[in-house]
A and B are shown apart, each in its own frame.
Chain A
C-alpha cells in the first residue's frame, strides 16, 4: 500500500511542479519584465498591444488550470477507488500521457513566442545587419566533460540493452530501446546544431544575451540526452528485477527536478533591454 501512496505523492508533485509552479514562475518573469520595461520607454519590445499579450498569457494560465484539474481528478479517482494503478490504468502510460498534456500549454507559449519574435522582425526597419566574425563551436558553450558524459551514458544504455537482449525479461522491448534513444540523440543533436548555426530569432538580441541563451539551451539539450539514457538504463534494470513501479516514480521525479533546473538556469536579470529602446 505504501508504494501506492508514494506514487500518489510523486504524481501530485508532477502536477504541482510542471503545471502550477513552473507556469506561475514563467508568468511572473514575463509580468515583471513588462512592468519594469514599459511600452513608452521600450517600444521595440512590444510588437503587439499589451492587452493582446495579456490575453495570450491568460490563455496559458487557463490551459494550465485545466491540466491541473484533470491531474487532480485522476489522483482523486485513484485514491477513492484505492487503485494499485493511476486511474486504474498502467502507471507508466498515465504518467506519460499526462506529461504530454502538461506539455501542451508550454507548446502554446512556445509557438506564441515564435510568432511574437516574427512580428518583431517584420516591424523592424533595419537596413544594417551585423554579425560576429568568429565561428561558434560546441565546446565554447559546453565543457568537453559534459559531452563525454553524454556519449558515455549512451554507451552504457546500449550495453544495458544488449545485455537484456541476451537475458530478456517479461515485457522487454528489445533493440527498439536503442533505436528510440538514437532517434532522441539525433533530435537533440539537430537542436544543438540549430542553436549554434541557425537563424537568430530575436533580431534585437545583443551578442552577450545570445551567447547566454545558446549556452543555457545547449546545456539543457545535453543534460536531456544524459538523463534520458540513464533513465532508460535504470528503468530496464528495475523492470528486470520486478520493480517497474519504482521506475515510474524515478521518471516523474526526474521530470520535476528537470523543471526546477530549467527555472534555476533561466535568469533574466542580466538581459540587455537597452536594445528595445526607441
Chain B
C-alpha cells in the first residue's frame, strides 16, 4: 500500500495524509491491527517535515483511526472503519455555522464575533 502527497496542492500535507489513511481504511487496503510506519520513516520517505507527519498521526489518533502502543509503534485502530466515516472538521464547521447564524439574527457584527472568538481561544490557551 502506497501513500502519496502533492507538495503544491491547495490542501495542507497533513490533511492529505489523514485523508489517504482514512481512505485506505475504508477501501480495506489496510486492516485494523496493521502496523503503520514510524513518523521518522514516513517523513523521510516522503521528504517532508517530521512535525507534519506527527500532526497527521496525532489527529488520526484523536479521531480513533490509529492508536499508538508505546515503543511497539502505531497501529490501525480496531474501530478505524467506523471512525473514518466521521469527519470532525465538517462537524465543527456545521456547528459554527449554526452559532454564527443565530448571532447574525440578533444583529451581532462580524468584528464583534471575531473579537469574542479570538478572546475565547486565547483564554482557553492561557
Contacts and interface: CB of A to CB of B under 8 A. Distances in A.
Given A127-B7, A127-B8, A132 B1 contact: yes
A106 B6 CA distance: 37
A129 B7 CA distance: 8
Q: Place the interface of chain B in its size category.
A: 20 to 34
Contact of A133 (B6, B7, B21, B44): B21
Contact of A129 (B21, B41, B48): B48
Contact of A131 (B6, B9, B30, B37): B37
Nearest to A207: B2
Given A127-B7, A127-B8, A133 B47 contact: no
Contacts of B88: none
State the majority secondary structure of interface residues on A. Answer: loop
Contacts of A132: 1-3, 37, 45
Indicate the member of A132, A196, A203 with the most B CB atoms within 10 Å. A132
Given A129-B48, A199-B47, A135 B37 contact: yes
B33 interface: no
B12 interface: no
Nearest to B39: A197
Contacts, number: 65
Interface in A136-167: 136
Contacts of B9: 127
A136 to B, nearest CB: 6
Contacts of A127: 6-9
Contacts of B37: 131-136
A124 to B, nearest CB: 11
Interface string B65-106: 000000001000000000000000000000000000000000
A198 interface: yes
Contact of B1 (A133, A197, A198): A133
Contacts of A128: 4-7
Interface residues of A, number: 16
Interface string B1-39: 111111111000000000001001000001000011110
A131 B3 contact: yes
Given A135-B73, A199-B44, A200-B45, A130 B36 contact: no
B36 A135 contact: yes
Interface of A: 127-136, 196-200, 203
Interface of B: 1-9, 21, 24, 30, 35-38, 40-42, 44-48, 73
Going nearest first, the 6 A-B pairs with the smallest beta carbon separation are: A131-B45, A130-B4, A133-B1, A135-B37, A199-B44, A197-B41
Given A128-B4, A132-B37, 19 more contacts: A127-B6, A127-B8, A127-B9, A128-B6, A129-B5, A129-B7, A129-B45, A129-B48, A130-B3, A133-B3, A133-B21, A133-B24, A133-B30, A133-B36, A135-B37, A136-B37, A196-B41, A200-B44, A200-B47
